[in-house]
Amino acid sequence: MPRFTPARIRARVEHWLFRIGAPEQAPIRLGQRRIYVLPTPAGLVFAAALVTMLIASINYGLSLGYMLTFLLASAGITSIVHAFRNLLHLEIAPARVTPVFCGEAAEFRLRINNARAERRPALRLRARGANTAFDAAAASATEIVLACRTTRRGLLELGRTVLETTWPLGLIRAWSIFVPDIDCIVYPAPEHHPPPLPAEGAGNEGGTRSSIRGDDDFAGLRPTQPSDSPRHIAWKSLARGGPMLTKQFSASTGSAHVFDWAALPPALDDEARLSRLTAWILAADAAGRPFSLRLPGAEIDIGRGPGHVHACCRLLALHGQVRVDHD
C-alpha cells in the first residue's frame, strides 16, 4: 500500500490543479492559462487595511477617506496586471548541464528568452530547494543557473520548477509551474583514501605496441563507441555513406589497469565498490594511464582521456538503474 507523504499529496494535487506531468519539450512558453496570480501576505494585509479605511470613511462620511481608499485600491489592482504581464510569453529552454560527483552541487542551466522589447524585472526561479533571482533583459535570452545539492548518485532530474514574481509592489505573486526536460548525471563520490591502483594487467609488457587508444600511429578503424572523441571519427568514410567508424591508433605503452568489480574485497557493499572504482578512475586519469572497467553485465574497453573517464563514471553512476525522484 503506497505511503501518502506530504510530498506525494502535493505532487498529486499539482498534477491535477496545474497539469504537472512528464517533462515538457523545449521551448516552454508561458501563455495566459499557465500563469497564476494570488495576493502575497503583504497583499492580504494591504487589502484588510483598505477594508478598514472604507468602513471608517462610510461611518464618518470622510470624502478624502473615500478618495484615498479608492486610489490605493486602484494601485493594488494595477499591480495584478503588471505582475501577470511580467511573466506572460516568456520562453524557457534547457541548456547544457555538466556531470558532478555526489555531494557536489548540480548546476542546472535554463535559458529564459524575453522576446518583448522591455525588461522583465524581479523574477525568481525555484527548483529542488535552490532559487535564483534575476532580471530578464529586453529582447534577449538570459541563462540562469540553479545549484541543487546532490545526495545520491544516478540521473538527477530538475523536476518541478517555479518561475515567479512579486513585481512591482510586492502585493501580488504571479507564478507558473513547469517541468523542463533537463537532467544531470551524478557520479558516485570517490573514496577519500583509496588503496593504490591494482597491478597492471598482463600483456603488452616491455613497452610493446598495443591497440590501446592513443595518439601515435594509425592502426585501423573500429565501430564508434559513445566515449570516442569527435576528432577521431572517420568523417570521410561517413560522408561516403559508410557506417560511423573511429580511427584507432597504436601507442607505445605498458599494460593497462583493469578495474574489475568482481576483484574487489567481498566485504565492500555496492556503493563502497562504486566509490572505490571512481577513485581509481580519477587516479589513473591523473597519471595518464590507460584503463578498462568491468561491471556485472557491462564492460568498457581500454582507453584514456576525458571521454573515456566520462563513459566509465556514467556507467558507475547508472549501475542498478538508479534514478533520483522528483521533489
Nearest Cα neighbor of 189 from 129, 146, 149, 130 is: 149
DSSP 233: B
Q: Residue 64: pLDDT band by 50, 70, 90 thresholds?
A: very high
Q: Residue 316: pLDDT band by 50, 70, 90 thresholds?
A: very high
Predicted pLDDT at 24: 86
Predicted pLDDT at 17: 64
Give phi and psi for 306, each to the nearest 5: -60, -40
**H helices present in the chain, as ranges:** 6-17, 41-60, 63-87, 235-239, 270-286, 306-317
C-alpha 38: how far from chain center: 29
Predicted pLDDT at 25: 86
| Integer Cα distance of 169 and 153 in angstroms | 42
> Which residues are CB-neighbours of 114 under 8 A, at least 6 positions away?
90, 120, 136, 137, 138, 139, 140, 141, 142
Predicted pLDDT at 208: 39
311 neighbors 298 (Cβ within 8 angstroms): no
Q: Is the pLDDT of residue 252 over 50?
A: no
Q: Residue 256: pLDDT band by 50, 70, 90 thresholds?
A: confident
Q: What is the mean pLDDT of residues 131-148?
A: 95
Predicted pLDDT at 199: 80
Q: What is the mean pLDDT of residues 232-253?
A: 67
User: In this predicted model, what pLDDT tens digit does every residue of 274-306 receive, in sequence order?
Assistant: 999 999 999 999 988 999 999 998 899 989 899
Q: What is the mean pLDDT of residues 178-188?
A: 94
Q: Give the three cell numbers for residue 187.
A: 557520479
Lowest average pLDDT, out of 59-73, 86-100, 152-166, 245-259, goes to 245-259
Predicted pLDDT at 19: 63
257 neighbors 201 (Cβ within 8 angstroms): yes
Predicted pLDDT at 125: 96
Q: Residue 22: pLDDT band by 50, 70, 90 thresholds?
A: confident
Predicted pLDDT at 248: 64
Q: Is the pLDDT of residue 8 over 90?
A: no
> Which residues are CB-neighbours of 34 under 8 A, at least 6 positions away?
176, 178
| Integer Cα distance of 56 and 62 in angstroms | 8
Q: Is the pLDDT of residue 240 over 80?
A: no
Neighbours of 95 (CB within 10 A): 15
Domains along the chain with CATH numbers:
20-187 (2.60.40.3770), 209-324 (no CATH)
| Integer Cα distance of 50 and 54 in angstroms | 6
